[in-house]
Amino acid sequence: MVFTTVQQYIMKLLKSYRCLRDDQIDRLVCAEMKYKPEYALRQRERILNLCSHMVRRPLDGYTGMNGAEADNDLIAAMDVMLMFLPQRLAAYRRGKPPFKLAFVKEDPNGQLRAYYVAVVRMGMELILSEQAQCAYKGRGNVVLFLLEDIQQAEAIDVPFEHYYVVREEDGFQFFEGEPVSDGE
């Protein structure tokens, strides 16, 4: 079967992330390939028709590989990453635990920086702090802790640059975290 470039990209997304919301797929296609949303929608729908043996709709508004269920933490992490669009992302991929997603983008000074998104469930703050410290790689990277409530931030102590992200009705709110020194 021969796919267009956009269809190949959508299949690559689905193979990597297994299941995404339709609007996330469309926004990634538009950002990566500079197409209009209507075109991305048509290509996504065409894949559903052409590849029904591989791709399906597990829930209304979602597209995924057969057998894949929506990973709500990954979906939320993807929403955080998409907040950085329309600026083009240099790269993005599924994160390694405890991070759900990793992406690279230019900072205001034109330097490439890696961002890691970690979803923090209520009561898991200390464990995730420890896991993040073990998994954190290098200077210049930024960790985005996606919290259920801003009160969780009090229990997160990490010695590197980080931000707290809290979902609100109209989007996300970002709060700058204070890195603690290793001696504290």
Distances (CA, A) of 40 to 54, 60, 66, 93: 19, 17, 21, 20
Angle, helices 22-33/72-82, rounded to nearest 10 degrees: 40
- The one-character DSSP state at 60 is T
Domain residue ranges in the chain = 5-65, 72-176
For the entire predicted model, the pTM comes to 0.88
Identify which of 103, 99, 127 has the alpha carbon closest to the alpha carbon of residue 113: 103
> What is the per-residue pLDDT for 182?
54
> What is the per-residue pLDDT for 59?
85
Q: What is the pLDDT of residues 17-54, one digit of tens each?
A: 999 999 999 999 988 888 888 888 999 999 999 898 89
- Contact (Cβ atoms closer than 8 angstroms) between residue 44 and residue 14: no
Please provide the DSSP assignment of 103-122 as one string: EEEE-TTS-EEEEEEEEE-T
Percentage of the chain lying above the pLDDT 70 cut: 96
Reply yes or no on whether the pLDDT at 9 is more than 90. yes
Reply yes or no on whether the pLDDT at 184 is more than 50. no
Instruction: Please name the CATH architecture into which domain 5-65 falls.
Output: Orthogonal Bundle (1.10)
Distance CA 87, CA 158 (A): 28
Distance CA 39, CA 37 (A): 5
